[in-house]
């Protein structure tokens, strides 16, 4: 079930032009049958595939694509205004290693082939703070089950939020799942964003409002190790 808005304020003419002309070649649909091999989405061979679920305005996705031109970057987002922002950045920086899925991220993860993704980002998803809405949260055991199948052994899952209740839930879900290991040796590992983790506008909004973001990193355990746990 998809929650949240798809559209905000009206797109500017330049944004609408990018959506109309550039998006069709960069977006994709899920196969009617069988699993999706994400490497097939890119015209040139890619070293590995990284996935961002809910990329917002796309600044993190664009920064990672520029820093890692050999990686195939897949972004999932339903908010068309955020998609338009990313398209403008891709046009400005001549980014070619990004493909986009414009529907519920869980549908995409469920369709992926096994062991095909090397890194996953879920950064500042909607916290749905009201108790009756918490079932709508993206980071939940059901999503971790899907990711555990789609991620390579040793792949990394990066989560971020400025909502402390959601942060505790993310940590609890990750620690409880046999496929994932928390990559933290001390408080700095979740209080400080790693250098290779570009900032987002949501992080800046949180800091401006006096909220401290939490950064969580999990590793996909080897299949043999997961079975033993």
Q: What is the pLDDT along the chain (229 residues), one digit of tens a residue?
A: 544 555 567 788 888 998 999 999 999 999 999 999 999 999 999 999 999 999 999 999 999 999 999 999 999 999 999 999 999 999 999 999 999 999 999 999 999 999 999 999 999 999 999 999 999 999 999 999 999 999 999 999 999 999 999 999 999 999 999 999 999 999 999 999 999 999 999 999 999 999 999 999 999 999 888 665 6
Is residue 126 among the annotated active site residues? yes
- Burial code (b: 16+ CB inside 10 Å, e: under 16) for 42-70 equals beeebebbbbbbbbbbbbbbbbbbbebee
- Structural domain harbouring 229: 114-229
**Pairing assessment for the beta strands 117-123 and 98-101 based on DSSP bridges:** unpaired
Based on the domain organization, do 129 and 94 belong to the same domain? Answer: no
Based on the domain organization, do 87 and 182 belong to the same domain? Answer: no
Kindly report the number of other CB atoms within 10 A of residue 198's CB atom: 16
Is pTM, for the whole model, over 0.75? yes
* Active-site annotation holder among 103, 126, 153, 189: 126
Show which of 65, 93, 111 is a domain's final residue. Answer: 111
42 in a structural domain: no
Kindly report the number of other CB atoms within 10 A of residue 93's CB atom: 12
Domain total of the chain: 2
């Amino acid at each position: 079930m998809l929650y949240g808005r798809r559209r905000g304020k009206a797109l500017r003419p330049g944004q609408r032009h990018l959506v109309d002309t550039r998006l069709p070649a960069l977006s994709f649909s899920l196969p009617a049958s069988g699993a999706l091999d994400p490497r097939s989405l890119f015209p040139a061979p890619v070293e590995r595939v990284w996935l961002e679920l809910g990329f917002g305005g796309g600044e993190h996705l664009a920064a990672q694509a520029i820093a890692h031109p050999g990686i195939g970057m897949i972004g999932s987002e339903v908010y068309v205004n955020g998609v338009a922002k990313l398209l403008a950045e891709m046009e400005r920086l001549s980014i070619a290693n990004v493909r986009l899925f414009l529907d519920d991220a869980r549908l995409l993860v469920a369709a992926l082939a096994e062991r095909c993704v090397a890194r996953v980002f879920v950064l500042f998803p909607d916290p749905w703070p009201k108790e009756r809405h918490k079932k709508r949260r993206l980071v939940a055991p059901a999503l971790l089950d899907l990711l555990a199948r789609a991620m390579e052994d040793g792949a990394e899952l990066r989560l971020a939020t400025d909502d402390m209740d959601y942060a505790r839930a993310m940590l609890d879900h990750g620690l409880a799942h046999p496929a994932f290991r928390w990559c933290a040796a001390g408080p700095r590992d979740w209080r400080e964003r790693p250098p290779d983790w570009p900032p987002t506008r949501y992080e800046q909004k949180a800091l401006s409002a006096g909220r401290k973001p939490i950064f969580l990193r999990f590793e996909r355990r080897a299949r043999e190790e997961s079975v033993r746990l």
